[in-house]
Amino acid sequence: MSAQDPQDFLAARAKVIKPSPSMAAKMRVDRLRAEGRDIVDFTVGEPDMDTPAHIVEAGIEAMRTGKTRYTGAAGTPALLKAVQTKFRRENALDYGLDQIVAGSGAKQLIFTAFAVSVEQGDEVIIPAPYWVSYPDMVLVNDGKPVIVPCGEEAGFKLTPAALEAAITPRTKWVILNTPSNPTGAIYSEAELQALGAVLARHPQVWVLTDEIYEHLSYGDAAPVSIATLSDDLYARTLTVNGVSKAYAMTGWRLGYAGGPKALIRAMVTMISQSTSCVSAISQAAAVVALTADQACVGQAAAIFKQRRDRIVQLLNAVPGIHCAQPDGAFYVYPSVAGLLGRRTPAGTVLNNDLDVVMYLLEEAGVALLDGAAYGVSPYLRLSFATSMEQIEEGCARIARACSTLTAAA
């Protein structure tokens, strides 16, 4: 008997998802650097600064004092209380302790919410540009991603008309990511109210609001939690957040969410049978992150604002690139429509944004991501969660590489 093809052994759900483009880009950068290439990396979606010292000390103290064992699946009482207080203090959200759950990152909580609620054929509305993992998390849980393009003319945001048109009897969720990865777009209270008016006509549709970039907002833009806008929305919204971006704690892997009791209870049960709980050490550190002086958060946001202003200025100085100024997060999403159809020194025509990405990587040693990975082309996604020196060097390389392009014959 011949050996079974390993591909035949895999479940169908494993074959419908693809690797995260951002993680694949990081691996590509690591490989090129190992080969000796000098790469300016704009792909990484994590703060470049260290976790604040007082938070690190809390983790060390947890280890020293034996807080290294399993915890309850939802999280420690201290962490749940800290999250509850944070939601009340910063979001005007009043969740009971049995309405809160901690996970190994916000990503796990979004996945778990779909795992306990989405069934075969259920639809999840995903505004595009979207974070790359949303569609695949829906697919692996047997759902159907319904991608709704939200162009630059709409501020890269879902409009009430587009939401209304996308809803069907099979719609289970709509995802809102504000501030957004990859565009930095922030929904105003008025815009959320308008979306809420549509949802009021469709009580079967729940809202998953991903607010992981909440503290990274600039100027007059201020994120609002949609669950605060009405009792109806509160009753069917899962508010997801975490400590990764605001406190430079990506590697600590801790997210948290608040929502309806039945949903949270199901998510806790699923966690108890999968990862058991978040690291007790990370939970102890997160308690301090959420309850101690928040000056470090504002200081980081101020640094990112300076970087945002500079990268937008530099990119807009490159002929063929147009970069809108994002209101939040630490990404820019410039259009490269003006570069398409142009020819590289090697004679290759740039036909799409992925061609631009590969040209800039090979010609300029600059790593970034194509808009196609986020659902809307022809754009690029650059993270400015890197030093000002790297921003200026990377943009200078981009400008030089683009200056060598010629009109296609």
Task: State the Cα–Cα distance between residues 253 and 280, nearest whole angstrom.
Answer: 11
What is the rounded (10 degree) CA torsion for 167, 186, 214, 104? Answer: 40
Output the six-digit token pair for 221: 């833009």
**Residue 352 gets which letter from DSSP?**
S
Band (pLDDT 50/70/90 cuts) for residue 15 is confident
Least confident of 9-18, 97-106, 195-204, 378-387: 9-18
| Residues facing residue 175 across a β-bridge | 208
Contacts of 377 (CB under 8 A, 6+ apart): 352, 353, 370, 371
The first and second tokens of residue 96, run together, are 């009971």
pLDDT tens digits for 224-258? 999 999 999 999 999 999 999 999 999 999 999 99
DSSP labels for 74-142? T--HHHHHHHHHHHHHHH-----GGGEEEESSHHHHHHHHHHHH--TT-EEEEEES--THHHHHHHHTT
16 confidence band (pLDDT: 50, 70, 90): confident
Percent of the chain with pLDDT strictly greater than 90: 89
- Whether residue 286 is predicted with pLDDT greater than 80 in this model: the reply is yes
End-to-end CA distance of the chain: 58
Please list, in sequence order, all residues whose beta carbon lies within 8 angstroms of the beta carbon of residue 175, skipping any fewer than 6 positions away. 124, 125, 126, 127, 130, 134, 208, 209, 210
- Band of pLDDT at residue 408, cut at 50, 70 and 90: confident
In this prediction, residue 171 carries a pLDDT of 98
| Average pLDDT of the segment spanning 327-352 | 97
Q: Can you tell me the mean pLDDT for 332-340? A: 98
Q: What predicted TM-score, i.e. pTM, was given to this entire model? A: 0.95
Q: Are strands 144-149 and 206-210 parallel, antiparallel or unpaired?
A: unpaired
Query: Structural domain boundaries of the chain?
Result: 10-50+296-407, 54-293
Q: Which CATH class is domain 54-293?
A: alpha beta
**Which residue matches tokens 């052994």?**
9
pLDDT at 42 over 60: yes
pLDDT at 3: 63
Question: Do 192 and 177 contact (CB within 8 A), yes or no?
Answer: no
What is d(CA 124, CA 42) in angstroms, rounded to the nearest whole number? Answer: 30
Take residue 73 and report the two structure tokens written for it. Answer: 């699946």
Measured on CA atoms in the order 317, 321, 324, 329, is the torsion positive or negative?
negative
Cα distance between residue 134 and residue 111, in whole Å: 9
Q: What is the mean pLDDT of the chain?
A: 95
Query: Are the folds of 10-50+296-407 and 54-293 the same?
Result: no
Q: State the amino acid at position 302 in one-letter form.
A: A
What whole-number distance in Å separates Cα of residue 178 and Cα of residue 185? 7
Q: Is the pLDDT of residue 69 over 80?
A: yes
- Please give the share of the chain, as a percent, with pLDDT higher than 70: 99
Q: Which tops the pLDDT comparison, 8 or 260?
A: 260
Which pLDDT does position 151 carry in this prediction? 95
Confidence of residue 2 (pLDDT cuts 50, 70, 90): low
On whether the 10-50+296-407 domain is CATH 3.90.1150.10, my answer is yes
What share of residues in the chain are helix, strand, coil (percent, to 5)? 45, 15, 40
Strand order in the sheet with 100-103: 100-103, 255-258, 237-242, 206-210, 171-177, 123-128, 144-149
Helix ranges restricted to H, 147-202? 160-166, 189-199
| Contact between residue 299 and residue 91 where contact means Cβ atoms under 8 Å apart | no
- Helix H or strand E segment including 381: strand 380-383
CB 237 within 8 A of CB 227: yes
Residues in CB range of 229: below 8 A, 6 or more apart: 189, 192, 193, 196
Look at 286 and 11; give whichever has higher pLDDT.
286
Residue 399: CB atoms within 10 A of its CB come to 16
pLDDT band at 1 (very low <50, low <70, confident <90, very high): low
21: its two tokens: 């483009």
